[in-house]
Amino acid sequence: MRASGRRAALFLLICVATPGSAAATEAFRVNDHVFKTPAVGPRQFPNQKFSGLIEAAARKAALNPALVHAIIAVESGYNPEARSPKGAIGLMQLMPATASRFGVTDPASSPEANLRAGTRYLRYLMQLFDDQLELVLAAYNAGEHAVMRHGNRIPPFRETQKYVPAVMARYHEWREPAKPPPTPATPTSAPPPRTSIIYMPGTSFMPEPAENAVYRLIVPPYYGIAAAR
């Protein structure tokens, strides 16, 4: 979780739909670096050894497992024995002081303990930054205070500027596809009212001898209407 660099990053998320294609692509730009991934993809994570533990810890913290997988892939490469030069430990690369804040005294004791503290910390950051994922990831890498000192923006640290789009790219590749909205039921239209035709007593139809077989209306003369001739 090191942080060093010069200026703030410009972080953009661009969705581009190719005409006629079934899926869109997404581009993540940080300064001059552009990362492209599928907008949604199959839920295939690169490591199955810890998938059950990751799934359980993520669901318990109300997180998408794909997000936890993406962080682990970038932080430790799924190595539970990973240690950074600054002392970050385990799958989620937690500093001992951070793990202690979230109820785990030794984040190296087991992958379960490391995941428990890491997902709790991640849930805390989601609440702190109102689910703004790029700020959450920046805070996970550089610390929440660094993000707040820079006006709730991605800090101007080169590592953080690379870290955020790297995690976002994996997350958008592995996340669960959004469920399509339900199709509204088509309202059934009432049938048009039927027109009633009432004929006077004694009215009859007589076919015309012409080729079109037109029918002539024959009305009795006693209704004051001259009969057709």
- Alpha-carbon distance of 41 to 215, in angstroms, equals 69
Please give the radius of gyration of the chain, using alpha carbons only, rounded to the nearest integer: 35
121 within 8 A of 127, measured Cβ to Cβ: no
Active site residues: 75
